[in-house]
Structure formats: structure tokens, C-alpha cells
């Protein structure tokens, strides 16, 4: 899987509002990419709320938070609105990003694995976490920046 120093796989994917995001758009910033299994489930909610609550500190560290799951835009939109998330939720419905980042083995995966990735301003992987604790990862990722 990915390791520190690898070039982060580029992606182009839409978020819950229909906006297109490319990893290349974030060059020059730190990116925290957090894969979550299913919108509006207890662990995913805890993780998302942790990122929401720490977002001002991430911004101070010139870091962008991108949540990503295999959910539809409608499911992610409802999730984002219900919990007032202040960052995009990317909709990887074809599982391409999940496969590239080790959050899914193939396109038939029902849900993403709870994987965390920190990407540096140079587009290189700073850290790749194959399994994160939903409640702890938002704070742990901050410490890595």
C-alpha cells in the first residue's frame, strides 16, 4: 500500500454539492483525506464531527480536510447538512479513489475501509493509516501536520 514519500495518486471526484475536486487543486497545502464506510453511522459521525470541530486548527496549519466515501451525493449531502460539516464530502461512487488509496480492494466493495491519508503540499504522502480509530483520528492527524 501507500507509504510516506510516495506520490499521492491524483483523483478527480465530485463532492456532495456537485463541485469537482482534483488533488492537484490542493498543491501547496496539506491535505487530510479520510475515508469512511457509510454516511450518518455512529463511527463516521464521530469522525466527521471531530474534523468539523478541529477545522479552525487545520486551517491554521494550512490543511484541507476531505472526507470520502462510496455514498451517493444525496446521502453525503444529507450527512453534511445534518452535522454542519465545514468541509467537502467526496462521493467516490465508482471506488476508483478508494482502490488507489487502499480503502477498497475492488469496485464491488460495498463500503470504504476507514483509512486515513495525510498528503503534503508537494503532493507526497506524509502518512498512510490502513485503519484508524474514528474518534481519535481527527486529533492524531492534526499532530502529524
C-alpha cell, 145: 501536520
C-alpha cell, 21: 475536486
How far apart CA 84 and CA 80 sit, in angstroms, is 6
Check if 44 is active-site.
yes
**Which of 2, 33, 44, 142 is the catalytic position?**
44
Distances (CA, A) of 138 to 66, 87, 109, 111: 12, 13, 25, 20
How far apart CA 49 and CA 45 sit, in angstroms, is 6
Summarize the chain as % helix, strand, coil (round to 5): 30, 25, 45
**What is the CB neighbour count within 10 angstroms for residue 13?**
18
Residue position matching grid coordinates 467537502: 88
Residue position matching grid coordinates 455514498: 71
- Catalytic amino acids? 44
Amino acid at each position: 500500500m501507500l507509504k510516506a514519500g510516495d506520490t499521492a495518486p491524483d483523483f478527480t471526484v465530485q463532492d456532495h454539492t456537485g463541485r469537482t475536486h482534483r488533488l492537484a487543486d490542493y498543491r501547496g497545502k496539506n491535505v487530510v483525506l479520510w475515508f469512511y464506510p457509510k454516511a450518518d453511522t455512529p463511527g463516521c459521525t464521530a469522525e466527521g464531527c471531530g474534523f468539523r470541530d478541529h477545522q479552525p486548527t487545520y486551517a491554521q496549519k494550512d490543511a484541507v480536510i476531505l472526507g470520502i466515501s462510496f455514498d451517493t451525493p444525496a446521502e453525503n449531502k444529507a450527512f453534511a447538512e445534518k452535522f454542519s460539516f465545514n468541509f467537502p464530502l467526496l462521493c467516490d461512487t465508482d471506488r476508483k479513489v478508494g482502490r488507489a488509496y487502499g480503502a477498497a480492494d475492488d469496485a464491488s466493495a460495498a463500503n470504504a475501509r476507514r483509512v486515513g491519508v495525510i498528503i503534503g503540499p508537494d503532493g507526497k504522502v506524509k502518512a498512510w493509516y490502513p485503519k484508524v480509530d474514528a474518534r481519535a483520528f481527527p486529533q492524531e492527524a492534526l499532530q502529524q501536520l
